[in-house]
Amino acid sequence: MKKTATRLADGRELIYYDTADDVVRDAPDHRPLDPVATAAEIRHDRLLGDSVAVASHRQARTYHPPADECPLCPSRDGRHSEIPAADYDVAVFENRFPSLAGDHGRCEVVCFTSDHDASFADLTEERAALVLEAWTDRTAELSQLPGVQQVFCFENRGAEIGVTLGHPHGQIYAYPFTTPRTERMLASLAAHRRATGRNLFDDVLADELADGRRIVLEGEHWAAFVPYAAHWPYEVHLYPKRRVPDLLALDGAARTEFPQLYLEVLRRFDRIFGPGAAPTPYISAWHQAPVHAADRSQFALHLELFTIRRTSGKLKFLAGSESGMNVFINDVPPEAAADRLREVASE
């Protein structure tokens, strides 16, 4: 992997990640951009004990542009985008409309490919491995920033999810706090250890492997399963079999196998609802140990992938129970979801 860091016209950082070592990335950004001005702030909810990012400047962000005006495509034929190069493998840059900025964290955009019409599932194993290296490198860099407590790599895919740019991309948030979902995991982890002396993540994975009914895919170094208490209609968790706290701690064997399993799971997601169905909308979320957790070695890196589509043409809306009380109601039994994901294996 070759990494090349540069700056955009308004001072934001841009990093190219290339498979070839001889690629030169020196194309300048010719756009007449003003410096980025944000109004991001973090507000604490005293009743719930969590934090809310308030970012009014995001109202002006690019919204569903036509393909020939996509800001994530390469700069070609006289049209300048967020990426000055005429082509690229993987590119990461600071978000122009960040939810978190300055003392309140950082937001980055990860472009998986220069091909506007592709998706992550279309990537080769080599390109998916390069994305994994980019996620890992950014996790390492962002973890060193003052005040950053947690690094979150994720992908939103599909208009139903709320994606405003159709180009295949993800994001990375560097939070100035530990997120509420992770705090709940840490609390459960500590309680389980006090009660049993064992690691909760290890027990969850061992139980799923022993049961077998919800296993979707299993390799030598990774296992993909629908969790026993899945919140979403189709939800898959992907765990390395050797517990590690973050992406940086993955060994070479796990890095090599990950693209194979992950790409297969994504391709199966697009087959869930049958031939002719629109691409499945999903959220793919990496869960890593907080940067300054007391005992990071007890946390287990894992990826959670889920869709809000419950059947063809129908979405799972977060209504009264889910949004009002955070009590999920799942219309698809996890065992049935796992059966379906096994049925639609790639040929």
Q: How far apart are CA 107 and CA 246, in angstroms?
A: 19
Q: Which residue has the tokens 């951009």?
A: 33
CA R_g for the chain? 20
Q: Is 169 a catalytic residue?
A: yes
Q: How far apart are CA 265 and CA 120, in angstroms?
A: 11
CB atoms within 10 A of CB 124: 12
State the burial class of residue 90 (Cβ atoms within 10 Å of its Cβ: 0-12, 13-18, 19+): buried
CA distance from start to end of the chain: 30
Q: How far apart are CA 312 and CA 323, in angstroms?
A: 23
Q: Rounded to whole angstroms, what are the CA distances from 202 to 153, 196, 299, 300? A: 22, 12, 10, 8
Q: Which residue has the tokens 């196998």?
A: 257
Q: What share of the chain is helix, strand, coil (3-state, %, to 5)?
A: 30, 25, 45
- Residue 102 is given by DSSP the state G
Contacts of residue 116, Cβ cutoff 8 Å, sequence gap at least 6: 67, 70, 72, 73, 166, 167, 168
Which residue in 104, 169, 192, 287 is the catalytic one? 169
- Active-site amino acid positions: 169
